[in-house]
Amino acid sequence: MLVVMQEGAPEQQTQAVIDRLVSLGFTIHRSTGVRHTILGGVGPRDDFDPLDFELMPGVKEAHRIVSPYKLANRTFQPEGTVVDINGVRIGGGDEIVVMAGPCSVESEAQIMTAAAQVAASGARVLRGGAFKPRSSPYAFQGLAGEGLKLLRAAADAHGLLVISEVMDSSQLDLMLPYVDILQVGARNMQNFSLLKELGAVRKPVLLKRGLAATLEDLLLSAEYLLSGGNYQVLLCERGIRTFETATRNTMDLSAVPVLQKLSHLPVVADPSHGTGRRDLVAPMARASVAVGAQALLIEMHPDPTAALSDGPQSLFPQQFAELMDQLRLIAQAVGMRIAPGREA
């Protein structure tokens, strides 16, 4: 904790700050400069708000020195976390795992075809939503339990893992037998009761960055999972809301290296929701690999023009196959490789 007093702040105001810090258990290191007095508080606790100090008379600014997230902090696991799902390892090493598939599971034929295409192009994980967080209540909401069964069967037919979104803890029991990775959507990143439930689950969670979340918000949400004892957490950049309207969201690629610096958790990039436009998915996927993403989450549909959700941002199968070839080259250029698929 660092408190900078205003120029000429009377001693009694400085003393009031010292007294408050001491009452919280801090040891004070005082430095008196030509203009400002600076109080460094070294203490055992961080459950305080620097603003409480900033609002005290005579205080110019107050800053927290220790980060508010402990378990998600890089220092907790300096070598980086590896999330190992039946031998598919995300993070730690030099392999980038690609997860792909349609936004939603729509029918048996659709997900079976998608799984075959995803596997043929060399991805390792099949995505597909069975519970969909749609902006409109009139839009397709997903096939729920039936969708999960179809998704699992399609993935198993091609040796793929399954990722699917859990929107509510009431869906957990239904989902657990079918999925390998539980996705928490952007709209649920700060659903703290859901995060607490998922902290108690022993299954990997992919946590998407909220539409208006800072990276610190994202890491604090990850902290809910970790503090519950679930250490298999993947962080996902999927674009944020800004004033820019040319893309559905603004994909913050700098989040990838920043998160890797701040945290030991593997970082996943989602260029589909990040841009919202099919023509921008490949460029941003290539950039995601170049910038160091440890996994990618990409929407691909056997026939995007007929998709029930997110068609405009879903790649055609042929585009996805070509993109995978490009990603292999880019990965090589940055000392990584795309985790080889079972069928490609």
Place of tokens 């258990």: 25
337 near 122, Cβ under 8 Å? no
When the beta carbons of 186 and 253 are compared against ligand PEP, the nearer one is 186
When the beta carbons of 13 and 169 are compared against ligand PEP, the nearer one is 169
75 near 41, Cβ under 8 Å? no
When the beta carbons of 131 and 231 are compared against ligand PEP, the nearer one is 131
Exactly one of 124, 158, 238, 278 binds ligand PEP (CB under 6 A); which one?
238
Exactly one of 103, 220, 265, 267 binds ligand PEP (CB under 6 A); which one?
103
* Rounded Cα gap, residues 135 and 97, in angstroms: 29
* Rounded Cα gap, residues 230 and 294, in angstroms: 19
When the beta carbons of 226 and 240 are compared against ligand PEP, the nearer one is 240
When the beta carbons of 180 and 270 are compared against Mn ion, the nearer one is 270
When the beta carbons of 88 and 103 are compared against Mn ion, the nearer one is 103
- Binding to ligand PEP by residue 278, rule CB under 6 A? no
Angle, CA 100 vertex, CA 96 and CA 104 arms, to 5°: 150
- Binding to Mn ion by residue 95, rule CB under 5 A? no
- Binding to Mn ion by residue 103, rule CB under 5 A? yes
- Binding to ligand PEP by residue 133, rule CB under 6 A? yes
* Rounded Cα gap, residues 92 and 43, in angstroms: 33
Exactly one of 185, 204, 271, 302 binds ligand PEP (CB under 6 A); which one?
185
Instruction: Kindly write out the interface string for residues 253-292 of this chain, putting x where it contacts Mn ion by CB under 5 A and - elsewhere.
Output: ----------------------------------------
Token reading at 282: 């490949």
- Binding to ligand PEP by residue 301, rule CB under 6 A? no
Q: How far is the CB of 154 from Mn ion (least distance, A)?
A: 17
Look at residues 299, 242, 244 and name the one whose alpha carbon lies nearest to residue 269: 299
Backbone angles phi, psi at 260, to 5 degrees: -70, -30
* Rounded Cα gap, residues 189 and 206, in angstroms: 10
Place of tokens 């979340």: 213
Q: How far is the CB of 34 from ligand PEP (least distance, A)?
A: 51
* Rounded Cα gap, residues 156 and 306, in angstroms: 25
- Binding to ligand PEP by residue 186, rule CB under 6 A? yes
For the chain, how big is the Rg over CA atoms in Å?
A: 23
- Binding to Mn ion by residue 100, rule CB under 5 A? no
Binding site for ligand PEP (CB under 6 A): 103, 129, 133, 185-187, 208, 238, 273
